[in-house]
Chain A
Amino acid sequence: MHPAPSLIAFTTLSGLGFGLLFWLGIDATPPTGWVAFVFFAIAFVLALGGLGASAKHLGRPERALKAFTQWRSSWLSREAWAAAAALTLSGFYAAALVFFATPVLPLGWLGALMALVTVGSTAMIYTQLRTVPRWHDPSTPVVFLLYALAGGALLSGRVVAAILLLVACGAAQGWVWWDGDRRLARSGTTLASATGLTHGTPRAFEPPHTGSNYLTREMVFVVGRKHAAKLRVIAATLAFILPVLLLLLPFHHLFALVAVVSHVAGVVVARWLFFAEAEHVVGLYYGRAPSG
């Protein structure tokens, strides 16, 4: 798939934002006043920034509100509701903390839950797509949630949780990279099933148009295997290895900041790969062989 900056920004930022909201929401002894304001502000900026970025991906952003209508069937619509609920609940919870220094804990828990639901829904948007076998797997929401939780823990300064989650997320991500490379082949969708031309070995000849089109731009994106391998190393280093090492060092605000920055940069690279490596089955029609 085309690694659209708006979608990379969206999933990265909103994941971090809702991850942070989760940790803030379940904190038994939440901060109050200015400290609370700063934490929640960061979470809101990230979450809203992410959602804002996602609106950029729309052809008709002015109609974005219509996306709330189809929660019964559409994960995107559910995500919109969940995000709205998470932000509203967390908003009230935060307001109480900032202005009244009153932790309305159940509200926080609900907000935290909705934050996770939001991240889960985002993940489900991708997971549900059979057309992208790399995504169409239970591991997708798991990994999305782990990213959000780890990032949130890191942002909220929970060193131990962050280390553990980063390691878990890194491991999961590593496995998904390895396993993901095999999923298109495993899905059973091939050029032969796509065309029904089974009386021999089919091979794409001329494309329908020599010009480009929406499909080739959006869905028939391919990254070189060597290039992808390099980026995986970079992503793993930045998102997991470096932050964990920094967290293992004696705590220092600078280290923590570098860990956060490194992690975010790593997630951006990982998300770039998430999209760029995802083979949409329509690519088969255009002669794109599985990259496994």
Chain B
Amino acid sequence: MCACRCGINVHMKSGKVAYIEGNRDHPVNKGVLCAKGSAGIMQHNSPARLRAPLRRTGPRGSGEFEEITWEEALETAVSWLKPLRETAPEKLAFFTGRDQSQSFTGWWAQQYGTPNFAAHGGFCSVNMAAAGIYTMGGAFWEFGSPDWEHAKLFVLFGVAEDHDSNPIKMGIGKLKARGAKIVGVNPVRSGYNAVADDWVGITPGTDGLLILSLVHCLLKAGRIDLDYLSRFTDAPVLLDGDPRSDTHGLFLRDGEGKPLVVDRLSGKTVAFDTPGIRPDLAGHIRRAGVSHGTVMSRLAETYLSDSYAPEAVADRCGLTPARIRALAAEIARAAFDAPVVLDRPWTDFRGERHAQMIGRPVAFHAMRGISAHSNGFQTCRALHLLQILIGAVETPGGMRFKPPYPKPATAHPKPHAQSVPGQPLNGPHLGYPQGPADLALGPDGKALRIDKAFTWENPLSAHGLMHMVISNAVAGDPYRIDTLFLYMANMAWNSSMNTQGVMEMLTRTDDSGDYVIPRIIYSDAYSSEMVAYADLILPDTTYLERHDCISLLDRPISEPGAAADAIRWPVVEPDRDVRGFQSVLLDLGARLGLPGMVDDAGAPLYDDYADYMVNHERKPGIGPLSGWRLGKNGLQHGRGDPNGGQLDSYIANGGFNAMHIPVDAQYFKPWNMGYQDWAVEHGLMDAPTPYLFTLYAEPLRRFQRAAEGKGDVQPPDHLRDRIRDCLTPLPVWYPPFDGGDTADFPIHALTQRPMAMYHSWGSQNAWLRQIHGHNPLYLPTALMQAQGLHDGDWVRVTSPHGEITVPVLEMVALNPNTVWTWNAIGKRKGAWALDPDAPEATKGFLLNHLIHELLPPKGDGLRWSNSDPVTGQAAWFDLRVRIAKATPPQEARPQTGRQTSPVPPSPDTLRWQVRD
């Protein structure tokens, strides 16, 4: 149901859904299920389900609609989209939210020809993903996992729940059962952090500093894995030390472009992958009077500096130096006291045979707590640096990638944004730029994309910036659009920063009284806030009523030991006039005559999404689903021709296909030829591509060089300093941008995902909303006392951008400068088929009202987006506020009016029982 993509067994009685439980065989959840998963029945039966396509009749935001037929709805959409495609395809902005079919929706947008496509990753996790991929060809997020079986120390940074929510819980359970130690680094000690053996109640936004201080301590004590660093990372690679060179600060390379290292055995300078060498971490060479040292020495110079000593950083982190040292020592002890040794011989990419797999049993995991800050990219990089220094990535006991990862940034596509009327886009939208030349800029230096992704403002915005689409479109900067097409994203509410502002922008009219964003098409399954702000609604089914494809081309269900993908198939037919969105999109594509969706005669190629899942091929032999494809000698997994019976095979196997990695290929994957060959054979890559982890990120250096004035593609002057300081090739820490004035806004304000709620949709669930029906603001004891507050009192919370008035509760186990609340519990009156007096609407609130998508004006007349300067990740957690006691208002403020509900009223009692 959510991004965790667990396997479920749906038990039916008399054709109705009676009970849902976890699928024991499923690679992700192995039988367990979270609260939301078990409450899926209430999701499926929700009274908020949309019933038929809708056309807006009242003003935007009113929620007044008329039901129309699908034919009318689709023809309306075609009448809007067809002329656009023929004249200015970029005037369609197609953005998808909690989408699990991005490889499909992205492909659709590419065939349509608009450069304006992305999913929600830009406000979600791009820092994590990009930092991981640029550093080591894989990230935590959903693409990497601690080695739960072997780790002895597990350090968790800034995670409340994460996408891998069940696997993390299962993993924590395993560690606990083994008596392994868990450390939680988080301003709030709840959830996973509550069960952590040790708690580091850090001040938000300072993890980078803490981590680099740990790096400092470990370097100083020599507690680093030299063998690992020399073999598998760029630590021994030589850096061009010549300030006059075009490649100053980049790797020295040979004629074939391969990075150079000094071989410790021969003393020669050779390509990194030369068989038989021992790359020298301390190597250096002199050429033409200039000396070139290794990444390792640059690294040591940087981080051994006293400015990273615990004493120098502790205050800013809200910790004591002793605490930082204790954590560093704990890591050193766990890593080097007793390595994990597996007797599994393997061969590396230099052809060297290793008798054993030796690993450091220290696993880290991190998510939005470190990434949703404007210094998040570099903080995530810092964490990867730490992991790699101790040799704890892709080794037993450390962190392991899940296929299709490892896959370095260079193996990913680059972004494409060149649109031509009537033509598909020149390539996939999203990708990993290697330098300024790859930015999505027009000849005039203007952004090609509506969200300004891949521009100098955030060059490595690999997931786009969905949070900037509406405000850029309204500002006409870089240009105006005609149709905003959204799918599964509650942009008028919890997924936007500055919620009230966004509601205003969605309803803003120009001089002639027309909406500034002329047309909005939206696909939702439920009566959300966003529905009220759209012109045309394409109602989706519930997740139990449609086909879905959780593909290896996208965000699959792989585990470290297996590449795996899955399907969902309808277990019940919709009892309303709704259609699966993917099928609708194919229908729309066929009506628009999009290439790949129609045959030569213009007839639709696919009946529906199920047909696409089986018969579409991205490359010959590679389709959305890897399992049970047709090979020369019958059915096979990975590569092969489409197989008409594929879905039946999936269903017979519990809905998924798992391709297990041979045991001798399960670790050291980036360098393990066993894995490389296996991955090629199974269609995960086209040729073996072993690579080095890049502690030193060349792409960042290339941008930095441009900022120094070198090269053809130059940043605007006002961004030069920022790029030079923030896009450093070695991880760096700088204070988050949107702190506001520390004296005026001294308190950090955060949100956390409740484990029993999924964003805004949990509230329509009769069972779950009893658990989280409203959300207090949690205040640390000191703050409660200072303000004379008691549980249930109300406070006014003010940020540089706005003000809310909300109820409070005391929490002791909380960083003394931090307040927090559960995310997305507050609801607009009239939405979600809830009573307008529902606590979600009267006491619940959104912190989003306080967070602006733009930073406060800086005096240069320009307003920068409230995002990470590298990737554009929305900096949700940079928020700072002040708090004052308030007389309790009737209801939480602000109130945003009431929308008419387009669905019938909800029942007064529920007696949910299905009988045979």
A contact residues vs B (CB 8 Å cutoff): 203, 205-206, 208-211, 213
Contacts and interface: CB of A to CB of B under 8 A. Distances in A.
B771 A205 contact: no
A228 B772 CA distance: 32
B811 interface: yes
A210 B839 contact: yes
B31 interface: no
B822 to A, nearest CB: 10
A209 B774 CA distance: 10
B392 to A, nearest CB: 32
B621 interface: no
A203 B811 CA distance: 10
B771 A208 contact: yes
A209 B771 CA distance: 4
Contacts of B771: 208-211
Contacts of A210: 770-774, 839
A205 B773 contact: no
B253 interface: no
A8 to B, nearest CB: 27
Contacts, number: 19
Contact of A205 (B769, B774, B811, B839): B811
The list of the 6 closest CB pairs from A to B, nearest first, reads A211-B770, A210-B773, A209-B770, A211-B773, A209-B771, A210-B774
Contacts of A208: 771
Given A211-B770, A211-B773, 6 more contacts: A206-B809, A208-B771, A209-B771, A211-B769, A211-B771, A213-B770
B812 interface: yes
Contacts of A213: 770
Interface in B756-773: 769-773
Contacts of A206: 809
A205 B812 CA distance: 9
Nearest to A210: B773
A50 B663 CA distance: 76
Interface in B799-814: 809, 811-812
B839 to A, nearest CB: 7
A213 B767 CA distance: 12
Interface residues of B, number: 10
Nearest to B839: A210
Interface in B735-789: 769-774
Contacts of B773: 209-211
Contacts of A205: 811
A134 B809 CA distance: 30
12 contacts: A206-B809, A208-B771, A209-B770, A209-B771, A210-B771, A210-B773, A210-B774, A211-B769, A211-B770, A211-B771, A211-B839, A213-B770
Q: By CB atoms of chain A within 10 A, which of B771, B774, B811, B812 has the most?
A: B771
Interface of B: 769-774, 809, 811-812, 839
B770 A203 contact: no
B381 to A, nearest CB: 35
Q: By CB atoms of chain B within 10 A, which of A206, A210, A213 has the most?
A: A210
A210 B838 CA distance: 12
B846 to A, nearest CB: 16
Nearest to A208: B771
A213 B773 CA distance: 13
A49 B771 CA distance: 40
Nearest to A213: B770
A110 to B, nearest CB: 48
B639 to A, nearest CB: 51
A150 to B, nearest CB: 42
B589 to A, nearest CB: 44
Contacts of B809: 206
Contacts of B811: 205
A187 to B, nearest CB: 25
Nearest to A206: B809
A89 B839 CA distance: 55
Contacts of B774: 210
A210 B839 CA distance: 9
A210 B844 CA distance: 11
Nearest to A207: B771
A285 B874 CA distance: 40
A217 to B, nearest CB: 14
Contacts of B770: 209-211, 213
A205 B809 CA distance: 9
Contacts of A203: 812
Nearest to A287: B791
Nearest to B840: A210
Contacts of B769: 211
A285 to B, nearest CB: 16
A211 B835 CA distance: 14
A78 B770 CA distance: 39
Contacts of A211: 769-771, 773, 839
Nearest to A205: B811
A213 B769 CA distance: 13
A209 B812 CA distance: 20
B643 to A, nearest CB: 48
A111 B143 CA distance: 80
A59 to B, nearest CB: 14
A210 B812 CA distance: 19
A216 B812 CA distance: 24
A209 B768 CA distance: 9
A84 to B, nearest CB: 35
A205 B188 CA distance: 13
Nearest to A203: B812
Nearest to B770: A211
Q: By CB atoms of chain B within 10 A, which of A203, A211, A213 has the most?
A: A211
Contacts of A209: 770-771, 773
A18 B692 CA distance: 91
Nearest to A211: B770
B789 to A, nearest CB: 16
A211 B812 CA distance: 23
A164 B811 CA distance: 55
A215 to B, nearest CB: 13
Nearest to B813: A205
A208 B773 CA distance: 11
Contacts of B839: 210-211
A49 B811 CA distance: 50
A17 to B, nearest CB: 37
A44 B575 CA distance: 58
Q: By CB atoms of chain A within 10 A, which of B770, B774, B809 has the most?
A: B770
A17 B681 CA distance: 90
A200 B839 CA distance: 34
A136 B769 CA distance: 37
A211 B769 CA distance: 8
Nearest to A209: B770
Nearest to A201: B812
B237 to A, nearest CB: 51
A211 to B, nearest CB: 4
A42 B194 CA distance: 63
A213 B772 CA distance: 13
B51 to A, nearest CB: 27
A117 to B, nearest CB: 41
B781 to A, nearest CB: 10
A80 to B, nearest CB: 30
A283 to B, nearest CB: 15
A263 B56 CA distance: 67
A52 B773 CA distance: 38
Nearest to B773: A210
B907 to A, nearest CB: 16
A190 to B, nearest CB: 18
B891 to A, nearest CB: 16
A191 to B, nearest CB: 14
Contacts of B812: 203
A206 B756 CA distance: 14
A210 B843 CA distance: 11
